[in-house]
Chain A
Amino acid sequence: MRVGVEFRWSRFLSGRLGMMSRFLTRMRGVIIAGAAMSLVLASCGASTSASSSTTAVSTAPKTLVIDQSNSPATLDPGLQYDSDSVAVYRNIFDQLLRRNQSTMKIVPWVATSWKNVNPTTWIFNIRKGIKFTNGMPLTGADVAFSINRILSPSFASPQFANFSVIQSATAKGQVVTIVTKAPSATLLTYLTTLSIVPEQYVQQVGNQAFDLHPIGSGPYKLVKWVQGSEVLLAANNSYWAGKPPYPFVEFRTVPNAASRVADLQSGAADIALTLSPDNAAQLKGSTGIKVIADPTEAVADLYMNSLQGPTQSLQVRKAIAYAINYSSLIKNVNLGYAKPVKEVLTPDSFGYTNTVPGFSYDPAKARQLLAASGNPHPSLVFPTSPAFSPTVVQAIQADLEAVGFRVSIVTTDQPTFLQKIQSPAHNWGQIRYGIWNCGCADADGTIYPLFHSGSVWSSYSNAQFDQLVTAARTTLNTAQRKQDYREAFAVLQKTVPAVGLWQYYAIYGVNKNITWNPGPQETLFIPQIHWKG
């Protein structure tokens, strides 16, 4: 669900700057001695000799400062659903439903209860007593409006795909009825991402003004949004779920990871988001700062084209799966900030099964398979883009070449890369590296779009698999769905259209006084960020 492209891009750029910064950290003694020259220059400009106002405090700060890698694209929750926008606006708005971060179960939030009266009709009871920060009560009509505007063609919401299964949403008082086009197993999942906007206010000011001056019912309200620079939020002290912990929260846009690290080290920020394993290693020695690394829903995968070229052969695909040194990728490329996986899904997601063995590093077996396939040196085209770590791509290339493959990496920009791999011609090459994160904690958001023969991402066709994932998508019977996914994963294990490489960790640098459990969905909900004096 998250378009993770931009943060990976900045990771790419910051990787380079990070290396530089690491080198500089090691050289600090030399640099400080040698920086006497710059000191002379700077003392001319900085003669105000500012005292350090940024020393760490042990009481909770009045303003919690969070460095993020990108500015929120929109603060209208009906538009973008990228991680940088959500991080901010989920604190301004309430969502219809929530997930319990430890059990991953869907729990009440704005909706207190729900039932389906028939497979396509759902009734939601809306909590009474919630107020938007302009004083208006939150009603069923606001919930229905929040859905309908995303479905409206004139609004052109990028989130349409997440709600397209909905036929209609209507309200009567505090009761909302949602009718779906077909039985939908993941409707509730997507409703955990639905933020409720105030119908009357939106219609009064219009969509464009609402985006710049949003009003919600969440724990914080918008004070100031300087595009590209910062968003300042103030506590909504009459929040229905309890008084928010910090009077103010400031989200700063700091695109360069090395600068986010420097902000933490200089005390300018309390939390830095989207750090790399390199940054984490760098923060290890810093006083007053700790690293939180949490496994996420995202899995790094290697996809294979089952429809064209040498990877049409099952033996070749299996050889690829056995040729990759998974533990080396985790240890050397991710510096240990990753977990091995057996499939392309993580245990936190619905539909995960531990009944498939996965693949392990076995170069001898890979060579054997290649010899048996009749072509011991197949040529593979490996398209990639700057959104993906070149280190990973080259490590995979080296592993494959070690068992006899000839691998040529072709790099293009991200839109061209997507255009190519999503083309119905399937002539993009043989293998590609990617990171999948549906943000929905459900196999339906992962293996359906990745491998169903009708999906733009899939270069794989298996009638049995298609039938299983379609059935699992359109039944509300949880046990049946689990069974379908068990079988679907068994088909994937047997036919190898892809291998999971590792489960991604989200890495955060935080002030040591902070306790926070972002969970697999990387939830940044301020009331859950605690300060211990």
Chain B
Amino acid sequence: MGRFIVRRLIQAALSLFGVLTIVFFVVRLTGNPVRLLVPQNASAADIARLTHQLGLDRPLLDQYGTFLVNILHGNLGYSYVQSQPALGIVLGRFPNTVELAISALCFSLVFAIPIGFLTAYFRGKWIERLLMPVVALGQSMPAFWSGILLVLVFAVHWRILPSSGQGGIKALILPSITLGMITLASIARISRVSFLEQLNKDYVRTARTKGASTARVMVVHVFRNALLPVITMVGLEAANLLGGAVITEEIFAWPGIGQLTVQSVQSSDFPVVEAVVLVASAVYILTNLSVDLLYGIIDPRVRIKRVGSR
């Protein structure tokens, strides 16, 4: 297990290196950010002066070398726009993204797994016919529609929830629903399929025939087996959510890294773009790693296979 984790961590470091290299060169294809920084009346000499001061006139490979050396020192440079350390800016926003992601994920799980189970268990009954269209609706409504709809209803019309911003549980509700709705739909669908598959398995019939109660069959046998694909899905969704939710954060003025990504890309703030990508990809890779480890805990077969394949 230890060696497995070490191997995965080395792979993760290599992936991060690749991602950072790509980002470093791609952002620099978009032109000189100084043109966006200087006042409109700046002369060519003013532009050249600030370009030089920011080191952007140096050869690209030279800049890349400095970039790599600085990364090894945990330094991703200073934001051109905010004149503060780029990594600090991103890490300062990250807890907000985590807060929203966890809350959205909780919202979607609380509804998705029961919906998945009910639609599988009552297949062809009215419950399925009622719930499945709701799920489809949730999946097909884009955040910029559902978010504004929720704001109009709950903040403008009834005034029971804040329309935007951060602060307390109340401010979390609408953005979490907006963001969680899409996740809810995908998790509900995958759990429905997974439950359906398990319900038809022989071990369920065996358990029933040996006299186990329906509740016991469901909770002890079916749930545990059905959760495996669900966990993979949840892992992927969690990683996505932790990477920042651009539209939801934009609508609800949520100061997470999604909003920061948009702003820093728009203003060609290279160091912040690089730091955002670094943090988002690290989170993605680590979330997937944790899902793999969790798999082993839930399903011993996976663990054995890994040991065997060593």
Interface on A for B, CB 8 Å cutoff?
A: 1-3, 5-6, 9, 13, 16-17, 20-21, 24-25, 28, 31-32, 35, 37-39, 41-42, 45-46, 48-50, 52, 54-55, 70-71, 73-74, 76, 79-81, 153, 156, 158-162, 164, 207-208, 211-212, 226-230, 252-256, 258-259, 262-263, 265-268, 413-416, 418-419, 422, 424, 436-438, 440, 445, 448-449, 454-457
A160 to B38, CA, bound (A): 8
A46 with B145: CB separation less than 8 A: no
CB < 8 Å: which of A16, A28, A42, A422 contacts B152?
A28
Residues of B within 8 A of A449 (CB): 40-43
Q: B197-233 interface mask toward A, CB cutoff 8 Å, 1 = contact, 0 = none?
A: 0000000000000000000000000000000000000
Inter-subunit contact A156/B54 (CB<8 Å):
yes
Q: Which of B32, B40, B154, B177 has most A Cβ within 10 Å? A: B40
Please state if B251 and A17 are interface contacts (CB–CB under 8 Å): yes
Residue B296 at the chain A interface, CB threshold 8 Å: no
A–B complex contacts, Cβ < 8 Å, 22 sampled: A5-B267, A6-B263, A21-B152, A32-B157, A35-B149, A45-B177, A73-B82, A74-B81, A153-B49, A207-B83, A227-B92, A252-B165, A253-B253, A254-B164, A255-B250, A259-B163, A415-B32, A416-B30, A418-B35, A438-B41, A449-B40, A449-B41
Contact A38 B153 (CB under 8 A): yes
Q: B39, B82, B266 — which one has the most chain A CB atoms within 10 A of its CB?
A: B39
B160 within 8 A of A: yes
B83:A268 contact, CB within 8 angstroms: no
Main secondary structure of the interface of B (DSSP, over half): helix
Contact assessment for B253 and A259 in the assembled complex, using a CB-CB cutoff below 8 Å: yes
List B contacts of A457 (CB < 8 A): 40
- How many whole Å from A519's CB to the nearest CB in chain B? 20
Task: Evaluate whether A52 and B159 lie within 8 angstroms (CB atoms) in the complex, with A17-B251, A158-B39 already known.
Answer: yes
Known contacts A252-B165, A256-B250, A415-B35; A161 and B53 CB within 8 A of each other = no
The answer to whether A159 and B35 touch across the interface, beta carbons within 8 angstroms, is no
A1 CA / B40 CA spacing, docked (Å): 5
Besides A229-B255, A415-B31, 16 more A-B contacts (Cβ < 8 Å) are A3-B40, A21-B148, A42-B177, A46-B154, A48-B169, A156-B54, A158-B38, A160-B49, A208-B84, A211-B83, A227-B92, A228-B256, A252-B164, A265-B156, A268-B162, A415-B30
User: Among the interface residues B32, B153, B177, which one has the most CB atoms of the partner chain A within 10 A?
Assistant: B153
Please, how many angstroms separate the alpha-carbon atoms of A209 and B151 in the complex?
37
Partner of B40, one of A2, A55, A253: A2
When the two chains form their complex, are residues B50 and A158 in contact, meaning their CB atoms are under 8 A apart?
yes
Residues of B close to A159: CB separation below 8 A? 39
Chain B 249-273 interface 0/1 with A at a Cβ cutoff of 8 Å (1 = within): 0111101100110110011100000
State which size class the interface on B falls in: 35 or more
B159 and A74 form a contact (CB under 8 A): no
A81-B39 in contact (CB<8A): yes
A345 to B71, CA, bound (A): 48
Judge if B161 is at the interface, Cβ distance under 8 Å: yes
Q: Given known contacts A45-B107, A262-B164, is B36 in contact with A1 (CB within 8 Å)?
A: no
Are the C-beta atoms of B30 and A413 separated by less than 8 Å? yes
- On chain B, the residues within 8 Å of A440 by CB distance are 41
Assuming A1-B40, A262-B151, is B50 touching A160 (CB within 8 A)? yes
Report the minimal beta-carbon distance from B135 to chain A, rounded to whole angstroms: 12
